[in-house]
Amino acid sequence: MSSEIISALQKAYRMELETVINYLTNSVHLDGVFAEEIKRSLGGDVTEELNHATEIANRIKQLGGNVPGSLALDFDQKTLQPPEDPIDSVSVIRGVLDAEEAAISHYKHLIKISGGEDPVTEDLGIRLLADEEGHRRLFKGFLAEYERRQR
């Protein structure tokens, strides 16, 4: 199987695990009335993102690749770090949108490189892409609601 596909799966695995960490952290860190729905959504999404990572890890293993351990993972979600001010839900929303955009872009790449060569990985990429697009839609709604309240 293509080393490019395994490498892309390993990157997707890293991205999903980093999202789990940051969603969990922000679901606990945020404060305030506006933050409650954001926290609830992030907390619920932790399980879904962890399931994504598990599916990806299983696919890496099926293809004969190595599932990376913690020391092999370089994280880079700068905008999804918990804000200094725990009331700053908007920075978290924007960080979620950045992470979802990155995931969407990466899954589109995975679908492209696996299409025709590896239909199982292509299908996995399509399913995960749909989930990420749903998360993006939800958080775009949160941002629009916040911006409307500020007017």
Give the whole-angstrom CA distance, residue 61 versus residue 101. 26
Considering only CA atoms, which of 145, 127, 115 is closest in space to residue 16?
Answer: 127
Ordered alpha helix ranges (H), 30-118: 35-62, 89-114
pLDDT score of 151: 75
pLDDT score of 147: 87
Higher per-residue pLDDT: 23 or 2: 23
- Model confidence pTM above 0.75: yes
pLDDT grade for 137, boundaries at 50, 70 and 90: very high
Give the whole-angstrom CA distance, residue 121 versus residue 76. 24
Residues 67, 72, 75, CA angle at the centre, nearest 5°?
110
Q: Is the pLDDT of residue 149 over 90?
A: no
Task: Report the sign of the C-alpha dihedral through residues 133, 119, 54, 16, in that order.
Answer: negative
| Tokens, residue 138 | 């939800």
